A and B are shown apart, each in its own frame.
Chain A
Amino acid sequence: MTIISDTEVAARAPYSTVLREGETLAIIDLGGNQAVDFLCYDAADTAKRYSAATTIAAQRNIFLTTGSVLRTGEGAPLLTVVEDTCGRHDTIGGACSKESNSLRYGQHTRYQHACVENFLIEGAKWGLGKRDLVSNVNWYMNVPVEQDGTLGIVDGISAPGLEVKLRAETDVLVLVSNCPQINNPCNGFDPTPVRMIVTGGGV
């Protein structure tokens, strides 16, 4: 196993990389309860991209954990969760945006940092635009659904040092916003850095 890259992504910052088929990406929650907003694309054709709906329908569960497969809208596997020391990750909450924050918290939050801004800036480096942003994965974020349908972001179940490891099933472009949210418990109201380690070269 060879370490291809080892990157600390600062609190609130974006990150992106291309994983070659068979390589793995470890996402390490350094400070605990840091939501990591995450999108992925078939690197050979970015119109084929992560679909929360297809992923949820295929596994018949809204939570991601070891064994979950992130799929495109066509159903093709992009990434498999091969290791998860946290146990539950969110598929339905999507990313914070300046616009949605105006609804959730009020107009005064419109000038705060938001994940969609990170996705737009980092995605532009790869030729991706607003049309390419869809409902995303939130690693380490806890979004339960009550039996009456009430859902929401609640206190995290993550802790410092917990890790999720993803194996690329094809060449995959990964786009990350290390969530800057300070209005909800997804990162304990205090964004912290995360570490990204890409490994390859066999076991």
Chain B
Amino acid sequence: MSTTSTTYGARDHARAQAGTVTEAMPAIPASTWPDPPPGIDPAKLVWAETVAGGGYTHKVLARGTELRLTDVKGDACAHLLLFNADQPWERLNVADTVKVQWNAYLGEAIALLSDQARVLATVVTDESGKHDALCGTSTVDGNAQRYGDGSPQGDSPSGNALFTLAAAKHGLTPRDLPPSLSFFQGVHVEADGGLTFTGSAGAGKSVVLRTELPAVVLIANVAHPLDPRPDYTVTPLRVLAQRSAPSTPDSPEWTASPEAQRAFENTADYLTARGLA
């Protein structure tokens, strides 16, 4: 007779699993994160997690939260979507983000704009410089063709499949998923419009975003659609978020460009009317 053949034995077996530590898992509460890097105050942590390659995560963050993403081993790819948590019909607009700021690339002081001309988040610091705002994420069929499987529970899940799951846990459907951004795997646009995959900046690089509105954050850590390697290659992503303060008119992001300034002014106007600022 096995130890799990009775309810008592099964209960003991299940309970004995608690306390297991694996490479990819969240720390709950976040303040118990074991090795906070410089600049992170454990007492202020609201989200601390290592997302496996091929995994996804999601969280609702207050306005004024610093979200630090780290490419732990050099082959993370953080596909990211943002929604205004108070009204999720307002969401990241990649076309406006690149067009309004006259810049196809993500980097420091870039505002991640919503379709309502407000700032959902800003890129505060960027050690990587290898990101992509044009190619979106991978598809089930594309990954099936390239790696043999694109399903969410398989060995090479697609970003679309994982975003669909993450979105569902916030009551959102595939219609709510616009094109996404990706951090830590770069793409360069050539003069003829062609795209060159430039890969990662190496292990240990971080990007810090600051939320400027209450935000639903969806993250899928999957291989970039232009990654030329024949094997599905994606390594763990660290997510550490701590309470902080939103931008002020003195912040460099606020005055990074006339367009960004108007986006922050629109955001402040909205928050003022809602009694939130």
Contact = CB atoms under 8 A, between A and B. Distances in A.
Interface stretch (B3-11, B23-31, B131-139): B131-139
A10 interface: no
B104 A47 contact: no
Contact of A100 (B103, B117, B140, B194): B117
A74 B140 contact: yes
Contact of B259 (A53, A99, A103): A103
A61 B139 contact: no
Interface residues of A, number: 46
A57 interface: yes
A2 interface: no
Contacts of A104: 99-100, 259
B140 to A, nearest CB: 7
A62 B188 CA distance: 11
B175 A132 contact: yes
Interface residues of B, number: 45
Given A61-B195, A94-B95, A102-B266, A152 B117 contact: no
Nearest to A62: B193
Contacts of B93: 94, 100, 135
Nearest to B141: A75
Interface string B67-106: 0000000000000000000000100011110111011110
A101 B100 CA distance: 9
B135 A93 contact: no
A15 interface: no
19 contacts: A52-B94, A52-B95, A56-B134, A56-B195, A63-B192, A63-B193, A76-B141, A92-B104, A94-B93, A95-B95, A99-B116, A102-B262, A103-B100, A103-B262, A130-B115, A133-B115, A145-B189, A150-B103, A151-B98
Interface of A: 47, 51-54, 56-58, 60-63, 73-76, 88, 92-95, 97, 99-100, 102-104, 106-107, 116, 130-136, 143-145, 147, 149-153
Interface of B: 89, 93-96, 98-100, 102-105, 113, 115-117, 134-137, 139-142, 160, 173-180, 189, 191-195, 225-226, 259, 262-263, 266
